[in-house]
Structure formats: structure tokens, C-alpha cells
Structure 1
Amino acid sequence: MAQAQEARVPDIGDYSDVPVIEVLVSVGDTVVKDQGLITLESDKATLEVPAAFGGVVKEIKVKVGDSLSEGAVVALIEPAGEVAASPAEAKPAEAAKAPEPAKPAAAPAEPAPTPDKLTQREIALSQSRTASGATSGQAEPPSPPTSTPPVTFDASRVMPDKVPHASPVVRLFARELGVDLLQVAGSARKGRITKEDVQAFVKKALAGGGATAAAPAAAAAGGNGLSLLPWPKVDFSKFGPTEVKPLSRIQKISGANLARNWAMIPHVTQFDSADITDLEDLRVLLNKEAEKSKSGVKLTMLAFLIKASAALLKKYPTFNASLDAAGENLTLKQYFNIGFAADTPSGLVVPVIRDVDKKGVNDIAAETGELAKKARDGKLGPADMTGGCFSISSLGGIGGTAFTPIVNAPEVAILGVSKSSIQPVWDGKAFQPRLLLPLSLSYDHRVIDGALAARFTADLAKVLGDMRRVLL
């Protein structure tokens, strides 16, 4: 039998003495690699501490309320064979199993269960019984789509001060049960919502005479928002073979962030293009020289873009800022850290290059290469992805002419770059073939207006057209 090994808190950036708000496993549980063990919550972020390897939990070394830093022992885990798969891959058969259609009941529906702690399955089944209102053994025919009442959406409910205080695990638990966390009162420190709060809310809803847990949300939204139909539920297997593939952990986390950013930030995108003919010639020349001398690193256009963007952030400090949650104060940053979107098998991540203004293009190219490799290998730590001021999403190696990148909050702007192409440009006498790079700058319109965005992209195009301007 393998000896139990210590599961420790990994690199969590600049955070220390972060309180534990949830313990997600118990002694005897079998965990897989990257499965959450505990949840930590600082003043700025809530994050899960994952298991670095799979196995059986033999001892829990922490409790709710403890304060932990990097390297602290969380649990003792006895490795158990090849169980180090990711959580998304742990139960493919279970994830792919489609729900069975409801069978006619032979007797009247049972009353809602009342144990102290309901399982997710019990709550879901009870919700189904209560919501359907069935009192006989014959299932009722489904209602036509036109009879489905619209769900009212109120934009004010997604403002920062209205977002419920709950950990990712509790949010997932609530979504699975159809519970609107805005309707749940938190009982933990600072009003944080726990699993027990969600369960108590569901019990109260079930005991209240047939209202589903999600019903109060629609009622509370009032009549001032947009009327949206519920998300469609379709049995796709009726139309042909299907396969259910769970989203990766990165996709789930980034998806929630992107949805929040798109809903809360008024996006506008400014499109422009830069003549990079001379810059591309210089890049190719420098790479050939480095190859002959077998020294240096391979320069990419991204490295030049990062360096040029830092020069523009110095000239336009509003782009190097963050708006507070209340939308009243702007924090202007005196440092220049730029993130870049890295494509990985598990989804997009955004590593950050720090102090770009103090580094040369060669240093930036080397660092982007190292961080991109860490991203592909799944070895990026929180410190590698925090502290960004501005982001760049480059699709130049793939294709496209323009797109609308989503601002990476709490930043106020993001630069999208598409595939460069040779196009005819009039020089006053004749058309000349020039290499043009499409630029797509998305920005938070609460902070940046259209004229400022247009000046930013126009000046960025000038710098990319002649990198000597960086020295000015």
C-alpha cells in the first residue's frame, strides 16, 4: 500500500494567510488530480486549491477559518493507481448518460422530503414533482412552447454590488438545482452563501406550496428588464447520435468570467490596420542573423506588439487603468504589465509579461515563449496570470480579418490582432504592395470614448510602421 503524501497549497501569487471558507472533501473520499480540496477566499478573489495527484484522502489537515499560505499542508492523500485524470474526464460514462424520461407513477406523488440534509438528486426529484403538480399516475402532456412564460432579466442585477457572495462550488451547486443566489440569504462571514443556505432555500421553496427554487428570481426581476425565454431544453438524441463532452475546468472558469464581462462592460470595438511591411522585413532579418550565430531567440510579431502597446499605454494612461466596482473611481497604474491570450488544449489562458517598458523585444519574445509552453503543459500558476494592465489576443497565425475581443476585467481595453495580408496601398503616384495588419481594439465605453480609441489605434499603427518611435 502506498504511503500517504502531503497535498499542499500551490503558488497563489502575492496572497498569504488566506482564510479557508470551505473544505470540499472528507476523509475516505477518492479524489482525482486537479479536483478541488478546499476553497480559499481573499479580499480580492476566491480560489480552489486542487489536488496535485489522485488518491484516497486519509487526513484533513485544515478546517474552515484557518489561514493558509503557499506550501501549507492541506491533506494527506494515499496515491491510488491511475486516478490522476482531470475531474472532467473522471466519469465520462456518467456525464454522457442522457436522463431517462419520467415513468408514470403508480401512486399519488409523495410529499417533499424533509431530512435535515437533502442530496442533490432528492432535491431535484422533489422540485420536479412539485413543479409538475402531478397528482395522478398519468403523466401530463408537455405544454406547447408558446405557453412558456418569459423570464424577465434586469440588468441592475448583474452590477458588482448585487452579485451574490458565494464560492465557485456553491455557485455550481445552485445552478444545478436552478436556484437564483440573489434570493438566498448568506449565513457565513460577510454574508457569504454556503451549500447549507442553498439547501435551506430549496426546502423552504418546496414547503411553500409548489414554487420552484428559481421562481422567485423571475418574480423579483420586475417588469423593467428584458423578457427572455428560458434556455431551450432539447433532446438532441431524437435527431441522431450524440456525445456529451464536459467542458474543461479552464473553459468553465473563463466562460463565467467572459459572460460577466460581456454583460457588465459596455463594449465598443475600434477597427484599424497597421502597415508592418518594414517591421516584418526587420523581424525576418533579425531571425536569420540569430539563426546563423546560433544565439538569441526567435522574434515573433507578438513581441513587437507587446512592446509597442507599452509605449501607447504610457502615452494614453486611461488605457492603463481599472474602474472600481461602483463605477466611480479610476485607478491609473504606474506599471506596464501586458497579458497575451495563449491557446491550450484545455482552453484559452492569459499569461502576463511584467514591466514590459523595461524589457527589450528579445526578452519579451523569450518570456512569451516560456509562458506559452507552461500554458500548454498546464503548469501556469496564479502569479503567471495576475497583475495585467492590458491584454492582446492574436489570431494572426490562424486567420480572419477582424473580431471583437472581450475586455478582460478589471482592465478597460484589449487589442485583437488578425492575419496580416498583402494589399495595394496608394502612395500618391501608384499602388504599392504593402503588408497590412488588422487591429481590433475593444474598450470599456464608460472609461474610454470613441475619439480616444481612434487616436490610440492610429498611433499604434504609426509605431508598428516605424518601431523607432518607441524610443521617443
Structure 2
Amino acid sequence: MTTLIDVVLPDVGDVADVEIVEILVQVGDTISAEQPLLVVESDKATIEIPAPAAAVVQELIVTAGQRVSKGDLLMRTTPADGVAAAPAPLVTPPAAPISSPPFDKGGQGGFLGATGQGGFPAAPAPTAAPASPLAPIEICLPDIGDIKRVPIIEVQIRPGDVVNAEQPLLILETDKTTLEVPTPLAGLVQHVWVQVGDQVGYGDRLLTLLPTATEELPVNSLFAHDDKTLHPPTTAALAGESRKAPVLPRPADLAAIAPGQLPHASPSVRRFARELGVDLTQVTGTGPKSRIVKEDVQTFVKQRLATAAAPAAATSSSATAPTVTSSPVAPVAPASPPFDKGGQGGFAPTLTAADFAKFGPVETQPLARVRRVSGAHLHRSWTTVPHVTQFDAADITDLEAFRTSQQVTAAGVKLTLLPFVLKAVATALARMPLLKASLIDNGEQVVLKQYCHIGVAVDTPNGLVVPVVRDVDHKGLLALATELAALSAKARDGKLAPSDLQGGVFSISSLGGIGGTAFTPIVNAPEVAVLGVSRATTQPVWDATSKQFVPRLQLPLSLSYDHRVVDGADGVRFTTLLTQLLGDMRQLLL
């Protein structure tokens, strides 16, 4: 009988769900390994979902426009002729509960549990992986020191991957650092039991691995734990739980988390809570395994605001607003209206929707996801960052003369003004690193970054995105021009990967190609500064030497910055330095 294989959505990053924008296959199609099956849209990019193995499409479960999450069933396939069925991660586990065998060192110094003995039967390996006579084993979290539980911030493998010994499997985030967890041996990944945002501790099961036939299990591997007691997992009912990792018992010393330890929340939720001044130890989680999700933080703040407003209304005759001592959120004045997200992801006063149809014909259209997500982020930045904008103008007459003489180089690269601005900004940031810092720990510490990745805002049909140009300080003008052109094309085509949008220390928003004389750009938090560039115009400038006005090309600059980190004097020094560098690019060589 032909085996049906369930293809599910793999991990697409730190997003709750994504929208299917295009399905690239039909029932009856024969697909090859890594062939794109469908296209999904995340916050600011589109992602192609590839086939895990060669197969024939038997049934499509999803449709375009549907929202799906990690582990959701996408389609059912059967193996193509001559191709073995893909192993488990993209195959739904059997419906009947399966008893996991007790963990045992097995003479290998690690937490190895042979699931071939009453657990998952060894799945046939794809043709790319060597045949293995060994039973599947369980890879568990080793001892990582005095830390009880840590969140997973990145999973670097997926079911069906062939891994080498010591290859990183996932990355953990402790209070002050990140740790890579390597595999102790080579093999084929059959199942990944964890996902980004999960909290894991010593002895927790991470993945099921089918070792290669030639691989000898290490005797003294990273997974050796001396004489520490292991606690075996209990039976996990897997029917209908393909999206959840099995619930395993923890070692006795990990059974409870003492107050003050890291709450059960992903890094993005902790960052969101810090922006709102919320103590996560007071928030009750409603996510899987009681994990705190973003909605829990928003609900907590709404409840605290309502608690603060209720006594205020009862004592409206009093001149002093009541103080809520149990909440980290500031109390609300009695006259404040109820707070709501307002569609912007922040806490803004609720606005009453008007009936625009009574004034004339109207048409309602859904707002593009990119605009919704970027709008929410910009609203949070505007309401949480105390903005100051500094205006200046750079004399780029000589720079423009040089640029136009080199506008199209021998290599065919079009040299615009933006690469020059990038180089000048990178040099200015190297001399004034505070403008590429970030606040952490509720504003108690500042992170000074030693790298220089700069985001450049790109206008696309779906909204504004900010791809990041990496290592600007180490690249020349032609390399920057080439990379900018490639990133801009990917942004307009909706092909940016999540990594293209991460890691920026400073942002540039250039509207010079459209027009305008100045504007107030919004800081892209957690960055602390953003530079706005408007259209250059020829202006009369007094020349002290000739005692007359002379025409000079002036480039308007608008620097917005976080006043908690950057003082006004530093802001002026930065724009002054920037105008000097753009006025005489030879200073970049000093």
C-alpha cells in the first residue's frame, strides 16, 4: 500500500503565523527535492517553502490567503518512483501513543534512548544519506552550567537534514550570552522536538537522530554527565500533537523556577515587555506550556490601566490621581479615555470609526500585511522613544561633480548619491559610536556595537521595508552601490529573507529622489538614530573669499535620535561631522 506523507510548515523564524500568497503545485504534480511548493508572506518578506523530498502531490490541504503556523498540514504526498519516503519531521507521527524508552548512557556517555525499541520505527533514510544499521537515538540538552532553564532563539536544523559530528543544532540564549549546542555524532535528523521560544533545561529531549553506519558513538562526548541522575521521559500521547514537543519530566532540581529567573517567554516578547515597562514575572502565560505571548503582555497592561482608571473615576473630585503600587506601568489620569491597540500595535486612545459612506462613495480595501506590521512597530517607536530631530545641510557641490563623472563605471555599476552617504555615516559612527548603540534592561544599560550594519529604507508597492547593508565600514563605493541595487530589487519583488532585515545599528531614509526639503524620520527602535535625506537644491551661499554669494548644491539632512541616549550636543556634533565628510570626501581617507 502506498504510504501517504504529510507535508507540514517548517520553522520560518520568530513569527506566530504567515499568510499563503501563492501555491505553486497542483494535485498530481511530480515534484523534486527542494522544489518550491508554495509562497508564504511573513512580516516583511516572502518565503518559498521547498519540498523535503521527491514525491507526487496527492492532496492540497491549504488555499491561497489562508494563515498557517509552524507544523500546520499543507499537503499530502506519496514518494516518487524509486525515492524513499522522507523521514519524520515532515511526516505526522502515528496516532497511537508511543512509550519512550528510558534514557541510558548505553556505554556512550550521552543521553541516548533507542526509539527503535518500542518508539518510532526507524524511518527509511533518503538517498542522500548513508544507510544505517543503528537504531534512532535521542539527543538531549547537556549540562550547560549553573543555569536551570534557557530559551531557544534559533533552530538550525530541520527533519530530513544530514548533519555532521559537532555541527551546531540550535542556539540558546542565557542572561548574558548565547550558546551553540552541537550534535555529538553524524546522522539523519528524524524529528525535532523543540522550536524557537521554547524554554529547555538539562536532560530535555531536543531531536531524534538516525546515526550513519560508519559513525562511532563518542565515549566522552559533550553529552557526558558523569554520575548525575537522569530522569526518563514518560509516555507521550502524540495523536494530534504534531506541532507540540512531548512533555517530558525534568530533573528534580529543575522542577520549579525560583522567582527572578527568566520567565517563560520568547526574546521578542521579552523585548516588547521591556518597551512597555512590564515585569514578566507578574504576567500569566496562555501559550503552549504556559508560555507568555505578546497578547498576554497587552492584556496585562490593559488590566493595570483599567485598575488605575477605576479608582480615579470614583474619586474624580480629588486633584490627585490614585497611585497603583503593584504595577510597573504608570497610572493613568482620571480623564484619560480607554486604551486600545487602535490597529497600531500600541496603546492609543480608542477612536470612533466614522461612517464615511454617508458623505459619498467609498471602497474598503485590506491594508497590506507589511504596512500593518511596520505601522505597529513605528507606532511603538514613536510612543516609547523620546524623539529629537536635528536639521542641517551639507555642501555636496564637489561630491556631485565627481559622482556625475563616474555615474556609470567601467564595471557597469550606477553610482548614486546613497553609497557616498553610507560611507560618510559609517565613518561618523566610528568616531561617535553612541549613535549606533541600543538601550537594554529597561534603560539601565547601553550596548555599544562593534559592527556597522546600516538599514536603508526602500519604498515598495506593499509598504516600507528596511533591508540592511552589512559591514559598510569595510566596503568601497562600488561594492555598496552593487549591494544596494540588489537589496532594493529584492525588496520591490518581495524576496527579502528575514536575515536581510536584521542586525542594523542605524537607518537611512532617503526621499531625495521624490522631493521635499526636510522631514522628521521615526527612529527604528531598538536603534537610537535615523538619518533622513531630502532633495538637494542649489542655494546661494556667501563666499567670504570673493565677498559674494555663489551657487552651491545643498543636501538637506534630518537626524532623529533617542534623547535618552543621545544628547542634543552629540546630535549637533554628528550632523556637523557628517556635513564636513560629505563636503570633502577626502576626509574619509584620514
**Structure 2 length normalisation: TM-score?**
0.50
Distance in 2 (CA, whole Å) between partners of 1:218 and 1:364 is 51
Distance in 1 (CA, whole Å) between partners of 2:294 and 2:402 is 57
- How far is 1:263 from its partner? 0.8
- How far is 1:329 from its partner? 0.6
> In structure 2, the residue corresponding to 1:330 is in which secondary structure?
strand
Report if the CA contact (8 A) 1:266-1:445 is conserved. yes
Which residue does 2:373 correspond to in 1? 253
> After superposition, where does 1:127-146 map in structure 2 within 5 Å?
none
C-alpha deviations, 1:210-247, integer Å up to 9, x for none?
A: xxx97874343564435245312212112211111111
Report if the CA contact (8 A) 1:340-1:351 is conserved. yes
Report if the CA contact (8 A) 1:11-1:70 is conserved. no
Report if the CA contact (8 A) 1:160-1:325 is conserved. no
Amino acid at match of 1:225: V
Amino acid at match of 1:218: A
> In structure 1, the residue corresponding to 2:406 is in which secondary structure?
helix
Which residue does 1:456 correspond to in 2? 574
Amino acid at match of 1:359: K
Distance in 2 (CA, whole Å) between partners of 1:57 and 1:258 is 40
> After superposition, where does 1:142-291 map in structure 2 within 5 Å?
160=275, 162-163=277-278, 185-188=284-287, 189=289, 191-193=291-293, 217-221=305-309, 223=321, 224-225=331-332, 227-228=336-337, 230-288=350-408, 290=409
Distance in 1 (CA, whole Å) between partners of 2:477 and 2:435 is 21
Report if the CA contact (8 A) 1:412-1:443 is conserved. yes
Distance in 2 (CA, whole Å) between partners of 1:285 and 1:247 is 43
- How far is 1:35 from its partner? 3.5
Distance in 2 (CA, whole Å) between partners of 1:217 and 1:238 is 35
Unaligned runs of 5+ in 2: 21-58, 78-88, 94-150, 161-271, 313-320, 322-330, 338-348
- Are 2:537 and 1:438 equivalent residues in the alignment? no
**Structure 1 length normalisation: TM-score?**
0.62
- Tell me: CA distance 1:300–1:5, structure 2 relative to 1, closer, same or farther (3 Å): farther
- How far is 1:268 from its partner? 0.3
Report if the CA contact (8 A) 1:274-1:437 is conserved. yes
- How far is 1:339 from its partner? 0.7
Identify which range, 214-223 or 311-320, moves more after superposition: 214-223
Report if the CA contact (8 A) 2:283-2:292 is conserved. no
Equivalent position to 1:377, from 490, 493, 513: 493
> In structure 1, the residue corresponding to 2:538 is in which secondary structure?
strand
> In structure 1, the residue corresponding to 2:393 is in which secondary structure?
strand
- How far is 1:162 from its partner? 3.8
C-alpha deviations, 1:332-390, integer Å up to 9, x for none?
A: 11111111001111111111111111100110010000000000010101111111111
Amino acid at match of 2:401: D
- Tell me: CA distance 1:238–1:4, structure 2 relative to 1, closer, same or farther (3 Å): farther
Which residue does 1:323 correspond to in 2? 439
Report if the CA contact (8 A) 2:389-2:561 is conserved. yes
Report if the CA contact (8 A) 1:279-1:466 is conserved. yes
> In structure 1, the residue corresponding to 2:285 is in which secondary structure?
coil
Which residue does 1:309 correspond to in 2? 425
- Are 2:422 and 1:334 equivalent residues in the alignment? no
Equivalent position to 2:64, from 1, 25, 32: 32
- Are 2:521 and 1:405 equivalent residues in the alignment? yes
> After superposition, where does 1:34-53 map in structure 2 within 5 Å?
35-38=67-70
- How far is 1:7 from its partner? 5.5
- Tell me: CA distance 1:187–1:320, structure 2 relative to 1, closer, same or farther (3 Å): same
- Tell me: CA distance 1:23–1:60, structure 2 relative to 1, closer, same or farther (3 Å): farther
Distance in 2 (CA, whole Å) between partners of 1:192 and 1:359 is 42
- How far is 1:187 from its partner? 3.6
Which residue does 1:471 correspond to in 2? 589
Distance in 2 (CA, whole Å) between partners of 1:28 and 1:194 is 32
> In structure 2, the residue corresponding to 1:30 is in which secondary structure?
coil
Distance in 1 (CA, whole Å) between partners of 2:572 and 2:417 is 22
Distance in 2 (CA, whole Å) between partners of 1:22 and 1:435 is 48
> In structure 1, the residue corresponding to 2:443 is in which secondary structure?
coil
Equivalent position to 2:158, from 72, 75, 85: 72
Report % sequence identity. 48
Distance in 1 (CA, whole Å) between partners of 2:514 and 2:368 is 22
> In structure 2, the residue corresponding to 1:322 is in which secondary structure?
strand
Distance in 2 (CA, whole Å) between partners of 1:62 and 1:276 is 62
Distance in 1 (CA, whole Å) between partners of 2:383 and 2:61 is 38
- Are 2:471 and 1:355 equivalent residues in the alignment? yes
Distance in 2 (CA, whole Å) between partners of 1:461 and 1:22 is 44
Distance in 1 (CA, whole Å) between partners of 2:542 and 2:573 is 22
Distance in 2 (CA, whole Å) between partners of 1:352 and 1:366 is 14
Report if the CA contact (8 A) 1:296-1:362 is conserved. no
Which residue does 1:147 correspond to in 2? none
Report if the CA contact (8 A) 2:19-2:67 is conserved. no
- Tell me: CA distance 1:9–1:424, structure 2 relative to 1, closer, same or farther (3 Å): farther
Amino acid at match of 1:230: T
Which residue does 1:107 correspond to in 2? none
Report if the CA contact (8 A) 1:158-1:264 is conserved. no
Distance in 2 (CA, whole Å) between partners of 1:448 and 1:456 is 10
- Tell me: CA distance 1:367–1:258, structure 2 relative to 1, closer, same or farther (3 Å): same
Report if the CA contact (8 A) 1:276-1:435 is conserved. yes
- Tell me: CA distance 1:420–1:263, structure 2 relative to 1, closer, same or farther (3 Å): same
Distance in 1 (CA, whole Å) between partners of 2:586 and 2:294 is 56
Distance in 2 (CA, whole Å) between partners of 1:263 and 1:62 is 44
Greater than 6 Å deviation, 4+ residue runs: 20-25, 57-60, 65-68, 213-216
Amino acid at match of 2:284: A
Distance in 1 (CA, whole Å) between partners of 2:589 and 2:473 is 11
- How far is 1:36 from its partner? 3.5
Unaligned runs of 5+ in 1: 13-17, 40-48, 75-156, 166-181, 202-212
C-alpha deviations, 1:124-151, integer Å up to 9, x for none?
A: xxxxxxxxxxxxxxxxxxxxxxxxxxxx
Greater Rg over alpha carbons, structure:
2
> In structure 2, the residue corresponding to 1:310 is in which secondary structure?
helix
